Each structure stands twice: as C-alpha cells, then as structure tokens.
Chain A
C-alpha cells in the first residue's frame, strides 16, 4: 500500500502518484515512426441552450489503411463532462484513461469533485506532458466539454499540442477533417440551439468532413456503425442511440441526394 512522507505526498494527483511509484506513461518517447501510428481523426463540439453536444467519427487509420472502424473518440469523463480526442491513437487512449482516473481519484481522495475549469486545466497538463512524444509525431489534441454545474451552462475547451487551453464560446473542431467540419458548424450554428438541433448539426459536420477527408469515417449503414454523438446537460452525459443516428443520417443522405 503506498504510504508517503509529508514532503513526498502526491496529494490528490493521480499523475503524480504514478510518478512516485514509477508507473508514469509520459515523458519516455521512442524512436520516430510517424506514419505507423493510427491517427484518430474528426471531432467536434458545440454549445447549445441546455449544455453541449460532442461528436466524433469512428475511423482510425495507419497511413492510407483503415486500421479500425469502431474507435470511440468521444468518451465520458465523468457525470457532467466528456473528452473528444484526435491524434495518435495509443497515447490518446492512454491520456483519456488517465484523465478519467484522475477525476475519479481526486473526487475520492478529496471527497468532492473538481470544478469544470479545474478538469479542463488538468487535461491541459496531460497534453503538455505529452509534448516530447508530440515532437516525435505522437500528437494528441483533445476537446473538452461539459456542463458547468456552478455557472449552469455548457462550456467548451480547445487545446493545442503544447497544452495550450482555449475556451470557445460557440463551437470547436479538431482533427484532420476540422476545416470541413468547422465550416459546417460555422454556417449552421446559432445561439440557443436545442439539443436535437445540435445533434443534427454535428452529424452533418461529420458527414461533410468524411466526404472530403479520407482519414475521417462516415456513417457505415452496412455495418451499423455511426459516429459517437453525445449531449451533456444538467441531466448529465447522454449518448445518442445508433437507432436515432440511423434516422438522422438517412435524412441527411436524402438531402444530399437531392442537391
């Protein structure tokens, strides 16, 4: 059982605890093998009247090959927040796992949850500690979004590879399809969207990104694989069902067919 002296005590930080016991996954980057790493790619988030909507495609690629069709790049961080990740799949998944653990660990050690701002800041430190690996091509760029229970509205954060943290007010897109998805959001976003309108808009943004970017996966009706779309409101994190997304994407496809 890990017991520490007063000076050595890692407090509520799970990352520091891992360093103390010699299990930290960060800071030891291997040789450069940029093109061999599967890159997980387009994720978007937007703010709506009741909170936020997050969405991410399911494709992971290795160079020009599809390495995985069912990646989940939008994951629940805790009851009122979620993370979406773009970048090298291995470090990204590890970062999300650590981030989820950090939030839970803090809550258990301290007896209360971190504020939403605190969680966003914590994620920024994780991204920054991945910088040596990012320099070698293993870049991880997340989006963090959630419902702020203190301020009672949704909030979004965008990051860069150095851990820079930028709060966005309307919408944000990341990954190789970010330009196309971002343009759709820019055209369709308006103040006080409902959650359903937000889901429709993010679904459309991912459609256009997958249409133009080979590293972004579109809806796969044949296999029944649809993007992960979730809303976070005062009721917590809710993932939109595949059945509902099937209907949404059939409508989008019909609209595109009539262009």
Chain B
C-alpha cells in the first residue's frame, strides 16, 4: 500500500502562491488611476479583441491580468451577479464592494481547496458621484482584497511600475495626462509601448447612466502625442 508523503500546510500554501505569482508575472501589466473626471484603466494588450478591461455595470468596471480564460470566466460571473442584483432590487443597490467580496470568496476558495489556484489578479473599480467615493478593489490570486487609493497596478513587473507611478503621480490630472502617465509607467522595456498595444477604457463620472467607455485606437494615439 502506498503511503502519501506528508507536506506541511505552510509549504503547500507557499508552493501554490509561488505557482500563481509566476503565472501572473509572466503576463503584461495593467494600471488603473483616478483622473479629474473619473477613473482610467490602461493595459498593455497586444490583442484587439481579447479584452482585459470591460464593463460590469453602470458605474463599475472589471479588469483582469494573468490567464485569460480564468479571469474572463470571473468577468462573466460578475456581469451576471450585477445584472441579477439590479433586476431583483434596484440599479442603485449594485456596488463594487459587494462584487469584490464575492470575487474574493471564489478566489480564496479555489486557492485553498482546488488542485490549482487561479492564476489571475483582478480589479473591480467603481466611479463615485464625487472623487472621494471612487473605489478601487484589487483582488489577489488567493482572495486577498486590497482597497486601493488613487491608483493601482496589476500583473507584470508590478513593483517596478508601482514605484514609477508613486514617484510622479499627480491627483486630478486630465484624461490625456493620465493616459500619457500610465503609458510611461507601463513602458519599462527599452522602447515605449505602441498605441496599438494599449487598451484604454474610462469610467467617466458625469455620464448619464452607463459610465463605461472604451477609447478607440485613434483617440489613444492622439492622447499620446
């Protein structure tokens, strides 16, 4: 009869965390930041069809890095949860905090109970009616939720990019300055990222209902001039 080896729980968790971290760091980075009229989400993404940033609800956006199929499944679950809650109660009852908690449950559950943790890090952003009500929830592969302020960085060489942003971040900048700034922070290689490899979407504060808009490649190019 074979005898299973004993693996200390600490070791098991560490192995899983390393595995997830490696998977996430292999992908390209994404940043989200406040600007004078809302929240801008900027990602390095060579694909023009497989999106990292998308709309969840009227004032809520989703962004994911890591394994595409894994965070896309979470995105769809989020759209469903939000639309169901809005249908059952009121559109005003759908909030980012609730969604972030549900995501944290799923990620935490998978991390501890499944063979393989999800190799994703996600962001749930909600634009408030005033800048101090904006919310950025950064959720890690193990279900840890971080309530971020002003800006956040997900995936890729996260630490380097975060340091670069923290050095020069100015609150209340225009959208153009925000896109330029994020572009510079994301371009850690030898050459700057081309505008065709940038995915940009905004949650603009004063839109009537659906605040989410995706910027076209031509407007991204214009912003970067």
Q: Does B54 make an interface contact (CB < 8 A)?
A: yes
Contact call B88/A3, Cβ cutoff below 8 A: no
Contact call A17/B84, Cβ cutoff below 8 A: yes
Given known A-B contacts A108-B54, A111-B54, A2 and B87 have beta carbons under 8 A apart = no
Contact call A23/B77, Cβ cutoff below 8 A: no
Size bracket, chain A contacts: 10 to 19
Q: Does B119 make an interface contact (CB < 8 A)?
A: no
CA distance A3 to B70 in the complex (A): 12
Residue interface bits B47-87, CB-to-A below 8 A is 1, else 0: 00001001110000000000000000100111111011011
Q: Does A256 make an interface contact (CB < 8 A)?
A: no
Contact call B87/A1, Cβ cutoff below 8 A: no
Q: Does B102 make an interface contact (CB < 8 A)?
A: yes
Quick one: which of B77, B81, B87, B210 contacts A101, CB cutoff 8 A? B87
CA distance A111 to B105 in the complex (A): 25
CA distance A23 to B79 in the complex (A): 16
Q: Does A109 make an interface contact (CB < 8 A)?
A: yes
Q: Does A239 make an interface contact (CB < 8 A)?
A: no
- Name the residue on A nearest B99 (C-beta): A1
Q: Does B111 make an interface contact (CB < 8 A)?
A: no
User: Within 8 Å CB of B137, what residues of A?
Assistant: none
Contact call A1/B77, Cβ cutoff below 8 A: yes
CA distance A220 to B176 in the complex (A): 49
CA distance A228 to B139 in the complex (A): 46
Q: Does B106 make an interface contact (CB < 8 A)?
A: yes
Contact call A23/B56, Cβ cutoff below 8 A: no
Q: Does A99 make an interface contact (CB < 8 A)?
A: no
- Name the residue on B nearest A11 (C-beta): B76
Q: Does B103 make an interface contact (CB < 8 A)?
A: yes
Contact call B54/A23, Cβ cutoff below 8 A: no
Contact call B87/A23, Cβ cutoff below 8 A: yes
Contact call A109/B87, Cβ cutoff below 8 A: no
Given known A-B contacts A111-B51, A111-B54, A3 and B106 have beta carbons under 8 A apart = yes
CA distance A112 to B140 in the complex (A): 28
Q: How many residues on the B side are at the interface (Cβ–Cβ under 8 A)?
A: 22
Quick one: which of A2, A97, A104 contacts B84, CB cutoff 8 A? A2
CA distance A105 to B210 in the complex (A): 12
Chain A nearest CB from B81 CB (Å) reads 5
Contact call B83/A1, Cβ cutoff below 8 A: no
Quick one: which of A1, A98, A104 contacts B80, CB cutoff 8 A? A1
Contact call A101/B103, Cβ cutoff below 8 A: no
User: Which of B81, B84, B103: most chain A Cβ within 10 A?
Assistant: B84
- Name the residue on A nearest B88 (C-beta): A23
- Name the residue on A nearest B86 (C-beta): A101
CA distance A219 to B189 in the complex (A): 67
User: Within 8 Å CB of B81, what residues of A?
Assistant: 1-2
Q: Which of A1-34 contact B (CB under 8 A)?
A: 1-3, 14, 17-18, 21, 23
Contact call A1/B54, Cβ cutoff below 8 A: no
User: Within 8 Å CB of A17, what residues of B?
Assistant: 80, 83-84
Contact call A23/B84, Cβ cutoff below 8 A: yes
- Name the residue on A nearest B51 (C-beta): A111
- Name the residue on B nearest A105 (C-beta): B83
Given known A-B contacts A23-B87, A23-B88, A1 and B79 have beta carbons under 8 A apart = no
CA distance A2 to B77 in the complex (A): 6
User: Within 8 Å CB of A21, what residues of B?
Assistant: 84
Contact call A101/B106, Cβ cutoff below 8 A: no
Residue interface bits A104-119, CB-to-B below 8 A is 1, else 0: 1100110100000000
CA distance A14 to B85 in the complex (A): 12
Residue interface bits B99-118, CB-to-A below 8 A is 1, else 0: 10011011000000000000
User: Could you give 27 example pairs across A and B, Cβ below 8 Å?
Assistant: A1-B80, A1-B99, A1-B102, A1-B103, A1-B105, A1-B106, A2-B77, A2-B80, A2-B84, A3-B73, A3-B106, A14-B87, A17-B80, A18-B84, A18-B87, A21-B84, A23-B87, A23-B88, A97-B87, A98-B87, A101-B87, A104-B83, A105-B79, A108-B54, A108-B55, A108-B79, A111-B54
Not counting A2-B81, A3-B106, a sample of 11 additional A-B residue pairs whose C-beta atoms are within 8 angstroms of each other reads: A1-B80, A1-B102, A17-B80, A17-B83, A18-B84, A18-B87, A21-B84, A23-B84, A108-B79, A109-B79, A111-B51
